[in-house]
A = this chain, B = another copy of it.
Amino acid sequence: MPGDLPYNHSMSNDFLSTDPYKGVRDFYPEDMAIQQYIFDTWSKTTESFGYERYDASVLEPASLYKSKGAVNEEIVNDQTYTFTDRGDREVTLRPEMTPTVARMIAKKQKELAFPVRWYSIPNLFRYERPQKGRLREHWQLNCDMFGSDTVAADVEIIALAHQLLLDFGAKPEMFEIRINDRAWMNERFEQEGFTHEQSNAMLYLLDRKAKIDNFDEEAEKIAGKPFDLGLSDPAPDSRLGQVLAGLMQLGINNTKVSLSTVRGFDYYTGVIFEIFDVSGENNRSLLGGGRYDNLTGLFSADPVSGIGFGMGDVTMRDFLETHNLPMKKTKSEHIVMIPTKPDQDNKAQMIAALIRQENAGTVVSIDYNDRQVPKKIEAARKKGASGYIVIDETDGHSIQRFE
């Protein structure tokens, strides 16, 4: 800015904008506390099931997303952040975590003791028009189990998803677990004599079923004959039947077989599921996932079976707000030290250090402002402190607690 001119508010062009980049969020402490509460609850529940945390960089080689089947093509073509670095490498800001975790599993396939239970809380990037529940950057809990293709693994991963919501204080009647099985759908399409293209077109149509009103007509176009979706329950000895029975035994009844639960990604091969808020306030799924049995095959010749899900922070927060569920952890003890004069500032720091040392987890902050004691007390109360200590020339300093 021109150094000769006096600062002037109206000359807005001289100043930098305080806005963040379009479609991403600043987390001021009050929002960050909610974000941390969500992350901590995710971690605690997931770890209690024996899942171990991993992470990777947001930067990935662009090639990771270009292989057919690795990721939704629409996302790669229109929605990734891909650029060329100063060394002429093509690099992408990860749009989802599954290709990364498949890469990491493939890299250490020989050393890992399967089944492997892993989770991560990555931030993901998509260039799209920002709208409710959809931003250009969001965080997502990703849980996966690799190396087990048993029914029990399907049951466990869905039970974990269910438990995550309960641990946020949700009641089972607040949400619904919609389940389907890609393998079962494929069998069904084979019985109909569908070609590969017809099957894909039908899956794509089913995915849009809730959004269109001429499903039957469109389905007939694809099938070349009237097509009845059918709503029969899966046979008890089918994979889906066994998974539902297993969940029932664990007391999980808020499930629904949903033939229109398809999930966009091509890589699913077995059970797929999504969890929806039943209040009608939030129409995006809270969580979605499924079984994919050959993702690591993109990297090497040894396929490893996997099942997992992702759960976003934005929809999670919307759910907590809609149902008036807690959004913060219980506050720890917070004492504010109130020096009465600048020459008491250092004494306040000494006493603060002692209190912290003797009371693990207690927060002690100091008000160095040049203002009267009653104003400092009022400020401490407003900040939500649990008490305060006035520091003066006397030796006795005791905690005064707010009611």
Contacts and interface: CB of A to CB of B under 8 A. Distances in A.
A364 interface: yes
Interface stretch (A18-26, A200-208, A216-224, A283-291): A18-26
Interface residues of A, number: 105
Contact of A55 (B22, B35, B54, B89): B35
A152 B364 contact: no
Given A21-B91, A364-B48, A368-B152, A104 B28 contact: yes
Contacts of A113: 379, 382-383
Interface stretch (A80-88, A176-184, A269-277, A392-400): A80-88
Contacts of A298: 15-16
A56 interface: yes
Interface string A208-246: 000000000000000000000000000000000000001
Interface string A95-124: 000000001101110000111011000010
B127 A85 contact: yes
Interface string A237-270: 0000000001001100000000000000000000
Contacts of A18: 103-104, 106-107, 299-300
A49 interface: yes
A30 to B, nearest CB: 9
Interface string A294-333: 0001111100000000000000000000000000000010
Contact of A334 (B50, B63, B348, B363): B50
A72 interface: no
A36 interface: yes
Given A115-B369, A298-B16, A26 B56 contact: yes
A365 interface: yes
A356 interface: yes
A19 to B, nearest CB: 8
Interface string A118-156: 100001010100000000110000000000101111011
A185 interface: no
A106 to B, nearest CB: 5
A89 to B, nearest CB: 7
Contacts of A21: 57, 59-61, 89, 91
Nearest to A370: B150
Interface in A33-58: 33, 35-36, 44, 47-50, 52-58
Contact of A15 (B27, B300, B379): B300
Copies in the complex: 2
A63 B16 contact: yes
B15 A246 contact: no
A48 B118 contact: no
Contacts of A56: 20, 24-27
A173 to B, nearest CB: 19
B16 A299 contact: yes
Given A15-B300, A28-B104, A50-B363, A20 B152 contact: no
A73 interface: no
Interface of A: 1, 7-9, 15-22, 24-29, 32-33, 35-36, 44, 47-50, 52-61, 63-64, 67, 70, 81, 83-87, 89, 91, 103-104, 106-108, 113-115, 117-118, 123, 125, 127, 136-137, 148, 150-153, 155-156, 159, 163, 246, 249-250, 297-301, 332, 334, 336, 339, 342, 345-346, 348-350, 352-353, 356, 361-366, 368-369, 379, 382-383
10 contacts: A1-B67, A8-B301, A16-B64, A17-B63, A18-B299, A27-B55, A32-B55, A49-B352, A117-B365, A152-B345
Q: Give 4 nearest A-B pairs by CB, closest first.
A: A50-B365, A152-B345, A24-B57, A18-B107
